[in-house]
Structure 1
């Protein structure tokens, strides 16, 4: 027993000795190593902090500090529980600006790296390739640039690779396709080009490919071998061929988005057989043609079908009712007819050529909340069944040929927030039931034939922000209560029988209330008054008829086409204008405006001209013709459109003008194929400023253009700008600085005092010019749908200046080309100066705006500085040439 105890004691002593000699040094060494590694991680994070130039919320400034030594408690940092090393770094949505230092590659235990929605820029350091444990990397919505580094291919454990919304260019490096664990590849909204590499087939577990908003030109057939693929986004690229049939072999695909390319041809009829799991199919903005696939409606899982802006034709099959899960449907810009499913949530057939009446089944879509059939040729009347659309929130039936009365059941659509029936042929009264639409924010019934009074019940629509009843036949008093106190004359223009407050530019309402005795007396006198009126009318008609016949006879004897007597004009007859324009053929049509159309013509001597024909059926066309003739005949300037002749008959009015080979500024701004750099735009703005300076200060009386906008700025063959369209111009009398008008200019460009009070002055033209300058350099119309409530083009530009983010608002093409990188600083400085100048032109108080003399001087100064800075940049970036 004693021997046993001795052996046991000896064994325990030996084990204790071994532990002390071996394990304790290891623990001590490990503890020191761990401490060293934590210090390494801390140094890497502090290096990142030092590379951040803007921290708007002071998050890292206050939280990441050596006084707070436990980095695992720093904002955005997560450490592993076992080894206390940084495993996750997430600085998303902090508004940070800076660059990524090479030290970040020392976070060797990092598994997730996320910098989403910041302003990190520059290139990515190659030391990040040391982060071999990374499974997720997301640099979404930053400003990283250059090519995508091939060293990303070394991150063998990477599962999610997200560079969405940066400025990477070039092609996708083949090394990326060595990432055998990759499941999500998101490279959307960069500047990538070329073809999608065929090596993509090597990514055997890839589930999502998102390559939209780049410049890829081909989808490889091998992409169809991806059996596990669920999402395929290649929208808004430059793919021109038909869809590779292999795409339809991806049996597990749930989302296919190829919209915004140049795809053509048709797609397979048995699409549902090949893509049984498809839920979202978006092929909008392509060039597909032919009928819709008959078996498309057998896709039982389909939730969203968007085929807008193609060339599909034929009918919508009744079998669309098989799509019981469908929540979105769009067939814009096609030529489809037929019935629709009752399960729709979003119905948009806008901008097509649909010519049928509205089918009765349309009103069975009781779950639809977005309803847009605008800009078609639909006819017939609206049914009372429209009231069945109980959950509809947005309804737009504008720009069709709908007729008849507006059903009172529209007032049952209690969830409605926006309703437009504008530009139709609706007649009769505005239903008083509209007063029940308490949630209505926007109501547009303009350009119809509505009559009778505006219902007082509409005063209850307290949420109404936008109202347009213009160009109708409404009569009676304009309500003053509720939202009506906020509406201007623009909401009621061209309703000749309306009356109300003076600010609405309508006559005051008369008190027509008659006493009973007076009413009785009046009725007794009617039997004498009516015959007298009839007899007087007969005599008046006879006199006017004789006068017109006599006048016409004198005109016809004089000449076939009377040309207004201006000794400098060449005489051009109506017959010659007919021949010059091929009978005003549509193939010669250059454009249409508020009072007529403009045709290209070639006179008998070979001279190219623009012939503006006035539609005399339109109210104001006569006055517009006379105004343009009067104005253009008395002014001459290099940057004003030149008049060649005015041709005037009783039933024909035309202006013959210089032909502008390059069309309008608006055309150039919004043309995808035009090369329109900063200097060209600046030259055009200088030209326009010189024209306005002449109109305001260079003539015996000041001339106010009143309707300056890009479509009225024309460009000749040398890209010299000419201001045109003086149809509503005003001449200010000697000593006058302003006048008033009832004529409306274009919304978005006219000065506030013009729109509200009809005040016309040279300062109003300056305001319009400021808006045109902003649009020219931002490629953003002042009426863009993004500008709602308090936000407008001016405010948007002003905000960019305060945050030093001018690159975010200017037209992206001005800063996108690699060839002009050396001019980047000069461009930014120039564009900032231009926007400040534009804001100075368009300040609200008219007396605080600069005048056009000052505007010309400022623009010329900006141009000279830009040319000087660009020349200096070119000199600095010129490659050195060594002597032999």
Structure 2
């Protein structure tokens, strides 16, 4: 679940700095020109021509990604890759000569993908630097022990690199930080207790590392914290009590894929501004607090893959966007009415939730926005045909291990569908040729019959049916 991407105000700053250039015709300061051209010379591949406008003797304030807000000095440098265009990324290293850009207050190197090297030491030599976003590259090695010396930094992101080792305790000296993003690296060790000193923090992202130990009880000193992302690590123990102090303004709490245990704290029901709560793939047990009914603004709730038990409370949300309660010990019997009535839901995952209803009786308020459905391992009967025929943007439909009974040959589905799993049901009829456009298909263990259309799927996708034939199964009898 995707949560807490870039806060809006930071995104606005980046766009502003990237495109606003009132002194575009200014002569380039010799130091800035030298530093920028050294940066370009350290780039070994630029297949998209991102740096093609960087030419010696031309005004560097007009170069792509270069911003000058005062006089002729470069104040921001923004070089980004095209994430959706394969083979368009820069290769090379970050030149230490960027230290020549002494008026630089913002660096934005995002999605360059193939930039290698260690932590950029030139960051220590830029006295006006406030915003650092060096994201989704291939920088590696440890973070410097003295990282706290860049104490003037306000927003610092090294997300999506390959940094290893511990988070240096000196990071607590960067007291002006309101955003710290070290997620999706290979960092180890525990969260330094000194992070409690970062009292202006509004966005803390350490997810997707190899951090361990308990989550420290440090959050009372962070009254501005709106996003806390610690998912995909190895944290153990219970949730620290000081998380309760974040109730007034916290919007994103993502703690999934750890080894946390205990009961879900009742205090979470006081988080009236909460948009996203992810506690998935932990070892939480007991019942979900009945007071969760107070979470009237929650849009994304993921409690899947825990040890939670009945009863699940009724929520009074105006519209849930995504819900995943799969693989607990719930016996919901039906898809909850507060889910069915949501006009904005796009993801519904209730695998192995003890649902015993007919899809013929399920009448969701809308089908237009649904992208993902997973009703696997229940006792769902009837036919999904009406639902599948009405969806516009469905990407995945999974309903294996149920009692669905319908004619697969008459099924229509959205052009966007990539995954269809109807295995271990009571489905009959032929396999339609339209399944060839899917990326993943499993219709095994049903009552299908007839010649298979030409597809790329293995025999296991069709095994265990009554009389299917043709490649990749046995040839049809003439």
- Say yes or no: TM over 0.5: yes
Could you say which residue in structure 1 is the equivalent of 2:19?
A: none
> Whole-Å Cα distance in 1 between the matches of residues 218 and 440 of structure 2?
52
1:497-545 deviations in Å (ceiling 9; x for gaps):
567899962223xxxxxxxxxxxxxxxxxxxxxxxxxxxxxxxxxxxxx
Could you say which residue in structure 2 is the equivalent of 1:220?
A: 216
> Whole-Å Cα distance in 2 between the matches of residues 312 and 332 of structure 1?
10
Gap change, CA 1:233 and 1:495, over 3 Å in 2: closer
Larger Rg: 1
The answer to whether structure 1 residue 373 and structure 2 residue 373 are counterparts is no
Could you say which residue in structure 2 is the equivalent of 1:39?
A: 30
> Whole-Å Cα distance in 2 between the matches of residues 128 and 411 of structure 1?
53
TM-superposed deviation, 1:96? 2.1
Could you say which residue in structure 1 is the equivalent of 2:475?
A: 505
TM-superposed deviation, 1:69? 2.7
Could you say which residue in structure 2 is the equivalent of 1:92?
A: 80
1:417-440 deviations in Å (ceiling 9; x for gaps):
65444444445x517753587776
1:303-322 correspondence to structure 2 within 5 Å: 303-317=299-313, 319-320=314-315, 322=316
Could you say which residue in structure 1 is the equivalent of 2:62?
A: 73
The answer to whether structure 1 residue 176 and structure 2 residue 167 are counterparts is no
The answer to whether structure 1 residue 240 and structure 2 residue 236 are counterparts is yes
1:473-484 correspondence to structure 2 within 5 Å: 473-474=447-448, 478=451, 484=453
The answer to whether structure 1 residue 397 and structure 2 residue 385 are counterparts is no
> Whole-Å Cα distance in 2 between the matches of residues 436 and 190 of structure 1?
39
Question: Relative contact order (C-alpha < 8 Å, sep 6+): which is higher?
Answer: 2
Gap change, CA 1:425 and 1:198, over 3 Å in 2: closer
Residue 77 of structure 2: SS of its match in structure 1? strand
> Whole-Å Cα distance in 2 between the matches of residues 488 and 268 of structure 1?
45
Of Structure 1 and Structure 2, the greater strand share is in 2
Unaligned runs of 5+ residues in structure 1 are 1-33, 345-362, 509-884
CA contact (8 A) 1:192 1:216 kept: no
Residue 315 of structure 1: SS of its match in structure 2? coil
TM-score by length of 1: 0.45
1:681-705 deviations in Å (ceiling 9; x for gaps):
xxxxxxxxxxxxxxxxxxxxxxxxx
> Whole-Å Cα distance in 1 between the matches of residues 33 and 472 of structure 2?
71
> Whole-Å Cα distance in 1 between the matches of residues 168 and 471 of structure 2?
69
> Whole-Å Cα distance in 2 between the matches of residues 259 and 489 of structure 1?
33
Could you say which residue in structure 1 is the equivalent of 2:252?
A: 255
CA RMSD across the alignment: 3.5
2:110 to 99, 111, 116: 116
> Whole-Å Cα distance in 2 between the matches of residues 173 and 266 of structure 1?
32
TM-superposed deviation, 1:88? 1.0
TM-superposed deviation, 1:201? 2.5
Unaligned runs of 5+ residues in structure 2 are 1-25, 82-87
TM-superposed deviation, 1:40? 1.3
> Whole-Å Cα distance in 2 between the matches of residues 473 and 145 of structure 1?
53
CA contact (8 A) 1:410 1:433 kept: no
1:827-849 deviations in Å (ceiling 9; x for gaps):
xxxxxxxxxxxxxxxxxxxxxxx
Of Structure 1 and Structure 2, the greater helix share is in 1
1:792-834 deviations in Å (ceiling 9; x for gaps):
xxxxxxxxxxxxxxxxxxxxxxxxxxxxxxxxxxxxxxxxxxx
Gap change, CA 1:502 and 1:72, over 3 Å in 2: closer
1:642-700 deviations in Å (ceiling 9; x for gaps):
xxxxxxxxxxxxxxxxxxxxxxxxxxxxxxxxxxxxxxxxxxxxxxxxxxxxxxxxxxx
1:207 to 189, 199, 202: 202
Could you say which residue in structure 2 is the equivalent of 1:284?
A: 280
TM-superposed deviation, 1:170? 2.7
Gap change, CA 1:90 and 1:444, over 3 Å in 2: closer
Gap change, CA 1:389 and 1:73, over 3 Å in 2: same
Could you say which residue in structure 1 is the equivalent of 2:362?
A: 386
CA contact (8 A) 2:408 2:427 kept: no
> Whole-Å Cα distance in 2 between the matches of residues 189 and 494 of structure 1?
41
CA contact (8 A) 1:282 1:307 kept: yes
> Whole-Å Cα distance in 2 between the matches of residues 162 and 309 of structure 1?
30
TM-score by length of 2: 0.79
Gap change, CA 1:294 and 1:396, over 3 Å in 2: closer
1:434-833 correspondence to structure 2 within 5 Å: 434-435=411-412, 443-451=420-428, 453-454=429-430, 469-474=443-448, 478=451, 484=453, 486=455, 490=459, 493-497=463-467, 505-508=475-478
TM-superposed deviation, 1:334? 0.9
1:173-229 deviations in Å (ceiling 9; x for gaps):
333322232110111122223322222232222111111122142322122321111
Residue 506 of structure 1: SS of its match in structure 2? coil
> Whole-Å Cα distance in 2 between the matches of residues 379 and 124 of structure 1?
51
